Structure 1
Amino acid sequence: MTTALLIIDVQEAMFSYEVELHDGNEVMGRIVSLLNKARAAGIPVVYVQHTEDEEYTKGTDTWQISSLITPLPEDTIVEKPTWDSFHRTNLHEELQRLGITDLVICGMQTEFCVDTTVRRAYSMGYSSVLVQDAHSTFPNARFNAEEIVGHHNAVLGGRFAVLKPEHEVEFR
C-alpha cells in the first residue's frame, strides 16, 4: 500500500474555544468516516499533533487527539511545533518507512496547518488528495470560515492536491 490517511491537528483544543469551528460536527463526521474507511482497507493512519503553547501543551486535555478519532496502537502519531507537518518533525521519515507516496489529507485549521502541509507535501513529491469537506477553521476579522475553506480549496485544488468530497474518497 502506498496511500496513508493524514489527519492534521484534530485535537480537543479545536472544540474548546468560544467560537465554533465552521461546520464542526459535520466535518468531524466526515473525518470519522474517512478513518473508518481507511482502517477497513488496511490503510496506514498518520495523526499529526500540534505541540506548543497553552492549548497545545503536551499532556494537557486540550492537547489530546479528539476522542472521536482515538488512535490505535498501530497508528503513527507525529508531533509538530509549527504549521508545517514536515518541518522539524519525523513525518517524512515515517511516511518513507511505511512506503507512502500518496496522501489523503484532512484536519484543522484550513489556512494554517492544512494549507502549509498540503503545499509542503506537493513540494516533497507526494501525490495528495485534499478532502474538500473534511477540513475546517474559525472565522477571522476579515473572512468567515466558509470563505476561508472555499478559498483554500480553490487555491490548493488542481495545483497542489486533487480535491475530493469525503463520499468520493475510497481506499484500496
Structure 2
Amino acid sequence: MTATGCACCRTCSGLSVRAYRFGAMTTLENRPHTALLVVDVQNGVVDGAYERDAVVANIGTLVEKARSGRVPVVWVQQTDEEFIEGTEEWRIVSELTPEDAEPKVLKEYGDSFEETDLEGVLSKLAVGRLLVTGAQTDACIRGTIHGALTRGYDTILVSDAHTTEDHTSYGAPPPDAVIAHTNLYWAYETAPGRTAGTVTTAEAVGQIQPSS
C-alpha cells in the first residue's frame, strides 16, 4: 500500500513509520532547547491501560536520560472533578517521581496548553522542541501534540511511550491499533517551519543532547 496522491502524506511510501531526527526548525525564536513532556501518567488514567508497565518503564528511561543530559522534564496532570488534586487517582504513578525543581502543569482540557501555564513554562526554559509521552493516546496525547505543533513547536511523539485504555465497547479500535495509527499519522505530519515525527525510546535516548 502506498500513500501516493495523499496530500498530507505525499512523502511517504508504504506503511513504515519514519523516525524524526533531531535538528529542529521550530518557528519559535530563540527557543533552541528540547523538553520531555510527560502527560497524565496518573494512577487513575493509566490503571488498566494497554502495556501500562512497559510504557511507564520507557517513560522512566527517558526521564532518567533527560535529567542526566540537563534536558527539562515537564509534568502535566489532569485536574478536574474526576481527578481531584491530592487524591490517589490524581497522583503520578509510583514508578515515576517528579523532582521538586521540575515544572508541574495542572490542566483541565485535552490540549495541555489550554488555560494552563505550559507555554510560559516552556518559554522561560527556551524550549522550542518537545518530546511527548504519556496518556491517553486518543485523548490528551493527540490534543497536546496537535496543540503544540499549532503553537509553533517541533513536536515529536515517542512511539512506545504513550498508551490508552480499551474503548472497544464504545466502537473504538482496540488500543494497540489506536496507538499504531497515531504513530503512523504523526510520523508524516507536517506544518510550515515546524517538524513533527516519531521516535522510539531507544532512538530518543540516543539523540538527547545536553542543554547548554
**What TM-score, normalized to structure 2?**
0.76
- C-alpha deviation, 1:42, in angstroms: 0.7
Residue 143 of structure 2 is aligned with which of 81, 106, 116?
Answer: 116
- C-alpha deviation, 1:15, in angstroms: 4.2
Q: 1:15 to 1:159 in 2, by over 3 A?
A: closer
Residue 41 of structure 2 is aligned with which of 10, 29, 39?
Answer: 10
Distance in 2, matches of 1:129 and 1:158, equals: 11
The corresponding residue for 1:23 is: 51
The corresponding residue for 1:162 is: 197
Distance in 2, matches of 1:124 and 1:85, equals: 12
The corresponding residue for 1:128 is: 155
Q: Could you list the runs of 4 or more consecutive aligned residues of structure 1 that deviate by over 2 angstroms after TM superposition?
A: none
Distance in 1, matches of 2:186 and 2:203, equals: 18
Task: Please say if 1:46 is aligned against 2:74.
Answer: yes
Q: 1:156 to 1:62 in 2, by over 3 A?
A: same
Task: Please say if 1:171 is aligned against 2:186.
Answer: no
Task: Please say if 1:37 is aligned against 2:74.
Answer: no
Distance in 1, matches of 2:187 and 2:148, equals: 13
Q: 1:15 to 1:122 in 2, by over 3 A?
A: closer
Q: How does 1:137-152 map to 2 (within 5 A)?
A: 137-140=164-167, 141=169, 142=171, 143-152=173-182
Structure number with larger C-alpha Rg = 2
- Secondary structure of the structure 2 residue equivalent to 1:132: strand
Give unmatched runs, 5+ long, in structure 2. Answer: 1-31, 191-195
Give unmatched runs, 5+ long, in structure 1. Answer: none
RMSD over equivalenced CA pairs, Å: 1.2
Deviations 1:98-129 (A, max 9, x none): 10001111000000000010001000010021
The corresponding residue for 2:119 is: 92
- Secondary structure of the structure 2 residue equivalent to 1:154: helix
Distance in 2, matches of 1:134 and 1:23, equals: 10
**What TM-score, normalized to structure 1?**
0.94
Pick which of 81-90 and 61-70 moved more. 61-70
